[in-house]
Amino acid sequence: MGYNVVVVGATGNVGREMLNILAERLFPVDKIAVLASRKSLGTEVSFGDKTLKTTDLDTFDFTGWDMALFAVGSEATKQYAPLAAKAGCVVIDNSSLYRYDADVPLIVPEVNPEAIHDYAKKNIIANPNCSTAQMVVALKPLHDRARIKRVVVSTYQSVSGAGKEGIDELWDQTKSIYNPTDNKPPRKFTKQIAFNVIPHIDVFMEDGSTKEEWKMVAETKKIIDKSIKVTATCVRVPVFVGHSEAINIEFEDHLDEDEARDILREAPGVMVIDKREDGGYVSPIECVGDFATFISRIRQDSTIDNGLNLWCVSDNLRKGAALNAVQIAELLGREVLKKG
Ligand SMILES: NC(=O)c1ccc[n+]([C@@H]2O[C@H](COP(=O)([O-])OP(=O)(O)OC[C@H]3O[C@@H](n4cnc5c(N)ncnc54)[C@H](OP(=O)(O)O)[C@@H]3O)[C@@H](O)[C@H]2O)c1
C-alpha cells in the first residue's frame, strides 16, 4: 500500500523536478494528482513513463490525500496550504511562508530528521531556502565535531532559483545580445543578468541586507543551532541551474583540513571532490541532475585560530527544493504515516 500524493505547482521548475524525483526514487505512490493554476488546465507533465494532465488547484478537494508537495509562491500557499492541512493532508511546502513559524518544523533530513514529529501542530512541514539547504548539509557534520561559531558565506545563485521566468530571461537576454534589434530589458531581475552578476536577491531589509541573506541566517539557526552566527552575501549569476557557495567557517575547536575532508566524505548527502589540480573541484554545470551536495577546495584559513574555507555546489532544483521535499515525504512516510 502506498500514498495518495498531490504535487501542487506541477508545471513549475520545482514541481516538475519533484515528479521526476518521486519516480526516480520509486516513492510508493498509490494515486497522484498534479495541480497548477486554471490557465494551465490540462497541461501535460511527466511522471516516470506516464504523462499526467494538470487540474486546477482552486477547485481541488484534498480530502483523502495523504500528502501535498507544494511548489507555488507564498501567496498561493497562504490561500491553499491551510485548506489541505485542514482536510488531513500533510503539506510539505517549498515557499518561505511557514519556514519561521515556531509551530512548523523546517527540515533537511540529513541534518534534523527528528523535527518531523512536530509536523502535527499545523499539519505543515517547511522546506528551506535553496542556498540554506546545501549549506547546512555541509555544516552539520563539521559542527558536530568542532562547534561552529561563525560562518561567512557568499553565494553564486543560478537563475532557476527565480522560477521559470528567471530561466527565460537569461535565455532570451543572452540571445538578444547577439541581435541588437531584439532588445530584452530586465523584467524578472533588477539589472541585466546575461553576462553579468547581480548582488541582490529578494527584497531589501532595513539593515541593508536582502531577504535572501536574512533567510540563510535565520534558517541555519533554526535547522542546526541558534548559537551559530551567519553573515551572507547572495549574488545572482548567469548560470541556468546549480548554486555555488564560498563558505568560511570559524570553529570553537581546532579542526584540521584533512580531518574535515574525512568527516565530509562520510557525511550523508555529501560528495567530496577535492583534488588540488586543474579541474579537481566541482562547478555548477556538473552537479545538475545529481542528488549530492558537492564539496571542494577544503583548506585551512590561516587568518584565524580555527578556520576553514570550502566551496559548496548543488543542484538548487534538487537538494535546494524538490529532492529535499521528497526526502521529507520519505521521512514522513517512514517515521509517521507508515503506509508504504
Ligand atoms: N527554484 C528554486 O530553486 C527554489 C528553491 C526553493 C524553493 N523554491 C520555491 O518553490 C516555489 C516554486 O518555485 P518554482 O521555481 O518552481 O516557480 P515556477 O517555475 O515559477 O513555478 C510556479 C508554479 O506555481 C504555480 N502557481 C503559481 N501561482 C498559482 C496559483 N495561484 N494557483 C495555482 N498554481 C499556481 C504555477 O502554475 P502555472 O504554470 O499554472 O502558472 C507553477 O506550476 C516558490 O515558492 C519558490 O520560492 C524554489
Q: Are 128 and 251 in contact (CB under 8 A)?
A: no
* Residue 340: predicted pLDDT: 61
Give yes or no: 243 in active site.
yes
Q: Residue whose CA is closest, atom 3 of ligand 1?
A: 161
* Residue 94: predicted pLDDT: 97
For residue 182, pLDDT beyond 90: no
For residue 184, pLDDT beyond 70: yes
Q: Are 102 and 38 in contact (CB under 8 A)?
A: no
Please provide residue 221's backbone torsions phi and psi, each rounded to the nearest 5 degrees. -65, -45
What number is the average pLDDT over the span 198-210? 98
What number is the average pLDDT over the span 243-257? 98
pLDDT in tens, 42-75: 999 999 999 999 999 999 999 999 999 999 999 9
Q: Are 43 and 22 in contact (CB under 8 A)?
A: no
- C-alpha closest to that of 9 among 54, 62, 63: 54
How far, in Å, CA of 193 to CA of 212, rounded?
18
pLDDT in tens, 121-173: 999 999 999 999 999 999 999 999 999 999 999 999 999 999 999 999 999 99
Regarding pTM above 0.95, the answer is: yes
Give yes or no: 234 in active site.
no
For residue 180, pLDDT beyond 80: no
Q: Residue whose CA is closest, atom 2 of ligand 1?
A: 161
Cα 325 to middle of ligand 1, angstroms = 14
Give the Cβ contact number of residue 54 at 10 Å: 22
- Neighbouring-strand partners of residue 90: 67
Q: How big is the chain, counted in residues?
A: 340
Give the Cβ contact number of residue 192 at 10 Å: 17
Catalytic residue among 89, 143, 234, 243: 243
Residues within a 6 A CB radius of ligand 1: 9-15, 36-37, 39-40, 57, 71-73, 76, 94-95, 129-130, 160-161, 163-164, 316-317, 320-321
Q: What is the mean pLDDT of the chain?
A: 97
